[in-house]
Homo-oligomer: A and B are copies of this chain.
C-alpha cells in the first residue's frame, strides 16, 4: 500500500496504473474507519483493479458550531485497517494542499440539498460537492463508492456526476450496522453507554416503520410520527424525521413509489442519522 500525502504523489501513482490499463475504484472518507467504510472498499475492489481510499476531514462541510475540531482521528489504526483490507493507495492530503488561501470556486447542487440534512446544515452540501469534485479530479477513478447511510449525500453526488459529466460511475453501498442495529458511524464514538442504548431507538423505529409499510401503511405522516415518537420517547432530540421521494427528495403525503424515510436526531451532543428505503 502506498501512502500519498500530496496531490502530486497520488496523481503519479494513479497515472502509472492508468498507463498499465488498470482501473481505479475510489472510496472517499473522513477517516476513523469502521466496517461501513471497509465494506465500501470491498465494493470498490469488486468493481476495479486498484482501490484508492482518501482520508480527509474536509473543513468546508462543517458548520461553525459543528464538530470539526473534535472529529475523531486515528491515522495509525486507519492505515492498518486499509492495509489489511487490500487498499492499494491511501491518500491523506492536508488542508493547505486542498484549499488555497484564496480558494473561491464552489460546486453547488440546488434541487436536492434544501431538505433533510441541508435544512439544518445549510453550508454542508456545498462543502461536500466541492470536495468530492476535487477528489474525483485528483484521483480520476473509473468508479467511486459512497455509503447509503448518507442517502441524501449519495443522491447529491449522483446528480453532481451527471450534471457536470464527471467521467466516473458512482456505486452506493448498503448501510452496515452493529449486531444490535445501530448504523455504524465514526460519530458513535461520542456516545456514552447510556446514550448509545437510547440511540438504538432510531434503527428500531425505522425497522418498525418498514414492517408497518410492509403490512400496507402508506400514510407518510403516520410513519414519520411513529418514528418521531419512538425516538423522542428514548430521549432523542429530533432534527428531522422525513418521508420523501427517493429520486427528488420532495416530501410525500402518501407513499406511491420508492420512498426514503430519513432520521436525524441528537443523543446528548451527538447528531446521528439513519434511514430506510420504503418501496
A residues adjacent to B (C-beta < 8 A): 7, 11, 100, 102-112, 129-130, 133-134, 137-138, 140, 159-160, 162-167
Contact = CB atoms under 8 A, between A and B. Distances in A.
A158 to B, nearest CB: 11
A138 B100 CA distance: 26
- The DSSP consensus for interface residues of chain A is mixed
A16 to B, nearest CB: 14
B163 A137 contact: no
A23 to B, nearest CB: 13
A105 B107 contact: yes
Given A100-B162, A164-B133, A165-B137, A108 B109 contact: no
Nearest to A111: B104
A258 to B, nearest CB: 16
Contact of A109 (B7, B104, B134): B104
Contacts of A163: 100, 103-105, 134
A2 B163 CA distance: 25
Most B Cβ at <10 Å: residue of A103, A112, A165: A165
A112 B108 CA distance: 18
Given A7-B165, A165-B7, A167-B11, A105 B160 contact: yes
A85 to B, nearest CB: 26
A106 B109 CA distance: 6
A105 B100 CA distance: 23
Contacts of A133: 164
Contacts of A102: 111
The 10 lowest CB-CB distance pairs between A and B, nearest first, are: A105-B163, A104-B111, A137-B165, A134-B165, A104-B110, A105-B109, A138-B165, A105-B160, A137-B166, A103-B163
Contacts of A162: 100
A208 to B, nearest CB: 33
Given A11-B167, A100-B163, 12 more contacts: A104-B159, A105-B129, A106-B107, A106-B108, A107-B164, A108-B108, A130-B164, A134-B163, A134-B165, A137-B164, A137-B166, A138-B165
21 contacts: A103-B163, A104-B109, A104-B110, A104-B111, A104-B112, A104-B159, A104-B163, A105-B108, A105-B109, A105-B110, A105-B159, A105-B163, A105-B164, A106-B107, A106-B110, A108-B108, A134-B164, A137-B164, A137-B167, A138-B165, A138-B167
